Amino acid sequence: MQQDLLAQRAQARRIEELLQTVAGFSDPQVRATTDELIQILLDMYGQGLARLLALIAQATTTGQSLIETLANDELVGALLLLHGLHPLPLEERVIGTLKEIQPYLQKHGAQAELLRVDEGIAYVRLASNGHGCSSTLSLVRTRVVETLHEAIPDLEDVRVENPSPAPRPQRVTFVPPLRSRQHTPTGSTADKPAVDDE
């Protein structure tokens, strides 16, 4: 605990030194850009801390459930991701996001299923119930990819795999069976019984 406190004090001193260095930049454009970057970061973390406190104050759970609640918040979750602290596995977050967009998928007659997550890439199967056109399925595909990237910024990529098209039914031609000789039309010599010559 004492070592952590000493490390935090050292970091605070280093931050102060860096801020003084930034203030001494001779190029006004570089100084202004750096100042803006620092201010945006401070604002983001300030808002994140405020949101964190608000969520804790409203929470009715503790422990892992509370951690998951915090992680599911967009701002707090983004900060946790930034530092590699998000408690939910990547695969679980992809599945959860696909569940959230189920109403949209059902409205367009589509289904999305996570096949696997491999090296940060989510492989998703997108299927249609056959009632939508190809352009609709293309729009749904775009929506799925965009939603996953927005909800899970640490995803490396999203690969959507369409199922193979169902084979076309084969045409069957009905061929009537050959008629038996006894049912051939009357008058045909082939149908008459043979007569012995006596």
Using CA atoms, how far residue 138 sits from 111, 116, 119, 170, in Å, is: 13, 21, 25, 28
Query: Rounded CA gap, 82 and 77, in Å?
Result: 9
Whether 126 and 114 have beta carbons less than 8 Å apart is answered as no
| Distance between CA atoms of residues 119 and 121, nearest Å | 6
pLDDT number for residue 198: 47
- 114 - beta bridge partners? 124
Both tokens of 189, joined, read 């010599």
Q: What's the pLDDT score for residue 157?
A: 93
Q: Is 148 exposed, middle or buried (0-12, 13-18, 19+ CB in 10 A)?
A: buried
Q: How many CB atoms are located within 10 Å of the residue 144 CB?
A: 22
Instruction: Give this prediction's pTM.
Output: 0.59
In order of their start, the domains of the chain are 2-82 (no CATH), 90-161 (3.30.300.130)
Could you tell me which of 87, 89, 114, 86 has the C-alpha nearest to residue 100? 114
CA 191 centroid distance within chain: 75
The one-digit pLDDT tens for each residue of the chain (198 residues) are 777 888 888 988 998 898 889 889 999 999 999 999 999 999 999 999 999 999 999 988 888 889 988 988 888 988 888 888 888 889 999 999 999 999 999 998 889 999 999 999 999 998 887 655 666 788 899 999 999 998 888 889 999 987 544 445 556 565 666 665 555 555 555 555 555 554
Q: What is the pLDDT of residue 164?
A: 46
